[in-house]
Structure 1
């Protein structure tokens, strides 16, 4: 079973990987924020790339 610190590490690692991936594609990272209701992180890169990062570190490409 994963502890909350493991989730935090996975989430931080995925955030870093996404940042590197977007900048390698020369896409500006416009917004990085946290949804106050769900506590999920979200990225807006370029004009239409939105990715959500859940507590457990899983990613969801929205559009």
Structure 2
């Protein structure tokens, strides 16, 4: 996208803090914001489309 470097860094920093707070013991998690997405997993997912990922929505 057209997101500037500072805004991108802020988005990833905030995502990292939030995903740890909301999913402290998870081995797999995804968090979406308007400008970025952060995902981590203990299984390899790079280049894979996951259409079956279960969702737990938390709105703040």
Q: TM-score range by the shorter chain?
A: 0.3 to 0.5
As a proportion of its length, which structure holds more strand?
1
Calculate the TM-score normalised by the size of structure 2: 0.44
